[in-house]
Structure 1
Amino acid sequence: MFRHQKELQFEVKVDNPDPMLARQIQEVLGGQFGEMTVMMQYLFQGFNCRGEEKYKDMLMDIGTEEIGHVEMLCSLISQLLDGASPEDQAEAAKDPAVAAIMGGINPQHLLVSGLGGMPTNSNGVPWNGSYIVASGNLLADMRSNLHAESQGRLQVARLYHMTTDEGVKATFRKMLARDRYHQYQWMAAIEELEAKNGVVVPATFPPEAEKESQPEAYEFWNLSEGDASSEGLWATGSAQDGTGDFVYVKEPVPKGQVPINPIPSESLHHDLNIKT
């Protein structure tokens, strides 16, 4: 059961209207790494979680928090759009410099949402359910969650430096703080799960199951010009699970055959049997 509370998690109050910034903020609302994505990702992971109750509880806690973040961003966008009527835009556009700036405004904020936030990115592309990851494997999902929070916080940090509006910055400071904690949270969960099951997903398919393919599990193939990549721990160190040592293959060679596919039936109209 979900229950809506009228108060926002944190105060949202802008100093001045800024339709251009409203368009940019759409990215962290409905973009690939926006709040809609992490909201849906955590909730679906939580809905489908099996096993230890604490993981389901944690996922539902943070997923529900992200619903609140979506509402905060909608409020922020709406406030930035206040006063952005078609008449005001037409008047402002009489100044060539202002007109050039306002050319970047998302017209859908006027035509579609009536000065409100939308489930789209900054270019108006609708949010897509394929953005989310909910595999049923806790470690794989937690790593995806860490990735999502890292990218989301990066985008909010970039937006933070794109505005001088102190009210907007105050909201972003709260979001940056929560995104920082969420990264800590996923790192802690990942560490706990790795201690239980090992570092490779899925843990139920151990290295021994690979049999003849074991050598390839530790080789780094140099497939670009130069050999600077040989200096990393991925090329000279040991596997994180202690099962072997990495090998740097400076001049890798193909180990497979040249693929030769038979010509399909002429009924497919492939034109491969054309005679000259």
Structure 2
Amino acid sequence: MYHHVKKLMYTVNIGEPDPRFGRMLLEQFGGANGELAAAMQYSIQGFNCEDAPRKDLLMDIGTEELSHLEVVGALIRMHLKPMKNEREAAEADPLVAIAGGGGVALFDSMGNAWTADYLKVTGDLAVDLRSNIAAEARAKIVYERLIAFTEDQGSKEALQFLMTREITHMRAFTAALESMEKAPFSIGIIEPTPVLVDQFFNASTGESQYGETDFSGPWNQGNGLTAVQSEIKGGQGLDVTPYTPKPGSQKPVPADSTPVGQYTGPVGKKQAALHERAKIEAEKNATVEV
């Protein structure tokens, strides 16, 4: 259940309205990395989550993102206010001024309509948490760039608040992922092909006009990875020996989502039963607020 409290999570005050900056701010209202996209992504992930503790996390942060949307909306409306009665201000963005009445709308800073294509929802908890960490990082850098394009102190302070919360959420999602106690790079229930999984394919040949050649680093020579040269360069190429592991060869953890597919064998049924027992236990130990 959602309940609207008539108070902003952060009180917004600005000095001189700046319609052009207001248009920039629309990126965090109806853009790909904006607050509505975050609120919908985390909430829908939460609806689908079978693990009660992490479902609570997703719903908490998804709800906070709706509060952030309200803050961004208030900030935008203050900056766009001159569009309602000043032609020069309206010319900064006729779409917002004429079609939207000089207020917020579900568009980004370039006038592109918001779309559910922005959302990353896979139904796999570990994968979704990784997507959320990346989403918070993208939003953080957008807020940082917005701060760099205004001198209005009130706007800067509001954006600093919103930017900071992105890092808080990154930390929470990272902690949630780590608390699942999955092995690094463990995704799903089918293990990757041995040898092949450790091979970094060197797909670069030749030397550029700037003298750039192949580089070595921990991404291709370390962390268990080994660089493999292309057959074009006389190398051995990737090991393509067929390998057919069974579902369950990649060991799942209790918090993992139930596997999807007709041929997951007993792994899917076992995970579903595990979640059902956990749900019953959680309900039994739940506290009810009066």
TM range (shorter): 0.7 to 0.9
Gaps of 5+ in 1: 93-101, 239-244, 257-276
Q: Which residue of 2 aligns with 1:82?
A: 81
**2:68 matches 1:69:** yes
CA contact (8 A) 2:84 2:101 kept: no
CA contact (8 A) 2:196 2:238 kept: no
Structure 1 letter corresponding to 2:119: I
**2:16 matches 1:16:** yes
Counterpart among 203, 208, 220 of residue 200 in structure 2: 220
Deviations 1:194-248 (A, max 9, x none): x2x22235241124xx3xxx2221111111245866522121223xxxxxx3111
Structure 2 letter corresponding to 1:89: R
**2:248 matches 1:248:** no
CA contact (8 A) 1:221 1:252 kept: no
1:31-110 paired onto structure 2 within 5 Å: 31-51=31-51, 53-86=52-85, 88-90=86-88, 105-110=92-97
- 2-structure distance, mates of 1:17, 1:252: 61
Q: Which residue of 2 aligns with 1:117?
A: 104
TM-score, scaled relative to structure 1: 0.77
Shift of 1:190: 2.2
1:65-214 paired onto structure 2 within 5 Å: 65-86=64-85, 88-90=86-88, 105-193=92-180, 195=181, 197-207=182-192, 210=193, 214=194
1:236 alignment partner, SS class: coil
TM-score, scaled relative to structure 2: 0.74
RMSD between superposed Cα atoms in Å: 2.1
- The structure number with the bigger radius of gyration is 1
CA contact (8 A) 1:39 1:63 kept: yes
Please say which of residues 154-163 and 77-86 is displaced more in the overlay: 77-86
Higher helix share: 1
CA contact (8 A) 1:140 1:201 kept: no
Q: Which residue of 2 aligns with 1:262?
A: none
CA contact (8 A) 1:229 1:235 kept: no
Q: Which residue of 2 aligns with 1:4?
A: 4
CA contact (8 A) 1:73 1:117 kept: no
CA contact (8 A) 2:81 2:103 kept: no
Number of residues of Structure 1 aligned to a counterpart in Structure 2: 230
Identity %: 31
* Closer, same or farther: CA 22–252 of 1 in aligned 2, 3 Å: farther
Shift of 1:50: 0.6
